[in-house]
Structure 1
Amino acid sequence: MWAMPALATPPVIVEAPSCAHRKLDTVEIEAGSRVSEGTIDRMPTAVSYRLAFNRLAEVAQEKGANAVVLRGHRATYFTRDGRRSKQAVHVQLRGAAIFIEGDPADCAMKLVSPRDYATRHDDPRIVETPSTQAYDD
């Protein structure tokens, strides 16, 4: 019988699985640079969603999780002279670190694609705001 190899980091999923699991803790990461209207760099570096998702999974794994349910996502784009960057320059991800009982390979999970999140520009919650408000927690 073929067995799924052990995952290097827990998978990031979009909803809690239907199999038995327990929530361990909330996890959150930030990636990229917090830029402002005064930033000198006209083309700030884009965030790698793949690396951001990996960091979120690693933080969850440190808490004993074998999966993380993505619960929040905020991306910040940089606008200068009326032109918005094509990719996010700062990202915040928040999730629930969970432990799936038994073998996680036997549990049906809906994985999140970092590429899909990186290219989502149709979200109705996109708002234009100055950096003082964008980073206000």
Structure 2
Amino acid sequence: MRGVIGEVEEKLRAHEYKMTPKREHVLCVLLENKDKHLSAEEVYNLVKKKVPDVGLATVYRTLELFSNFDIIQSMDFGDGRKRYEFSTEDKDGHRHHHLICVKCGKIIEMNEDLLEDLEERVTDTYDFTITDHELKIFGKCRECALKMKKP
């Protein structure tokens, strides 16, 4: 975890920002929950357990700052709230995709790039250089689908 904190600190310093203790606490909460897609309110509640005097506005500003410098990425899974995760790109510069259960809200990460052929067609047909894409597929997870089948 120290290595990631150091990398983020360097990135902030390169843009003339400091890694304050409260920013570090927000970062630690994100690192401790990197398998989840936390909302700002969830991040705030987890940080508040460690630092009772942190304000919601501080958490929002920190998340926005981290997002601006591509430390984290924000996304909307259709529930009306931004959710955050660490920015992870593969060697081609693409991020993973998400399967979202419309019944229970479960989010499953998909690391396959299913859009390579489509990207080629778009590039060739429209002379458009694609730098990234995001795919969200909505449906029902296995557990919810099984519950629907039971009498």
TM-score when normalising by structure 2: 0.21
Query: Which entry has the higher C-alpha Rg, 1 or 2?
Result: 2
Name the structure where strand makes up a greater proportion of residues: 1
Name the structure where helix makes up a greater proportion of residues: 2
Task: Tell me: higher relative CO, structure 1 or 2? Use CA pairs within 8 A at least 6 residues apart.
Answer: 1
